[in-house]
Amino acid sequence: MSGGEADVQSYTVRLELVDEPGELLRALEPIAANGGNLLSIFHERGNVTPRGRIPVEVDLEATEPQFDRIVDALRDAGVNVIQAGAERYSEELTVVLVGHLVETDLSDTLQRFQEHGGASVADISLSAPAGTEAPSSARLRLVAGEGRTADALATVRAVAAEKDLRVVEPLTEGSS
């Protein structure tokens, strides 16, 4: 079936945006104009890239030709496209981190999970009742590529150990 619904795939585009009003909208316009269907947007306003920009991850559905036009249109609009490609996310896990999350750079922690563990942070809930100087906790919902859950969990453990954070891991099949 050429050109039909069967040709629609999920894609992820990672962008860097200037921290100015209207930049996110400017980045989304080429997606809509070229027939992309938005699935989710992860806008890390609290994190800054080495170039001083805001990282944004956009998950969308499109056919391959539409996606190619979307990426070209983003670049033509002056949007910095860091990565673009098909990614199939199929496995979720939820972990809780406890410790000095803010002091040990939470943005760096999340970025390392994504870069080295093959997982995207789909949702985060941070609790710091005693303020950012005291220990805090965060519930993270991670979405890993097919077959990458073990890698994602290993990365969470390694980064947490390096930063002296505790990990409350999900129960898995066969756990007691």
According to the per-residue pLDDT averaged within each range, which of 12-16, 89-93, 169-173 is highest?
A: 12-16
Q: What is the pLDDT of residue 137?
A: 93
**E strands present in the chain:** 9-17, 37-43, 54-62, 80-86, 89-99, 119-127, 136-145, 166-168
* pLDDT tens-digit readout, 35-76: 999 999 988 777 777 677 888 999 999 999 999 999 999 999
Pick the CATH number of 5-86 from 3.40.50.970, 3.40.50.10490, 3.30.70.260, 3.40.47.10: 3.30.70.260
The Cα angle at residue 79 between residues 146 and 38, in degrees rounded to 5:
45
Q: What is the pLDDT of residue 6?
A: 59
* pLDDT tens-digit readout, 78-132: 898 888 875 555 577 889 999 999 889 888 888 888 777 677 777 788 898 988 8
Q: What is the pLDDT of residue 66?
A: 95
* Boundaries of every domain in the chain: 5-86, 89-168
Q: Are the C-beta atoms of 29 and 38 separated by less than 8 Å?
A: no
Q: Are the C-beta atoms of 125 and 96 separated by less than 8 Å?
A: no
Mean pLDDT of the chain: 84
Report the pLDDT averaged over residues 151-163: 92
Pick the CATH number of 89-168 from 3.30.43.10, 1.10.1040.10, 3.40.50.920, 3.30.70.260: 3.30.70.260
Q: Give the pLDDT band (50/70/90) at residue 7.
A: confident
The domains spanning 5-86 and 89-168 adopt the same CATH topology:
yes
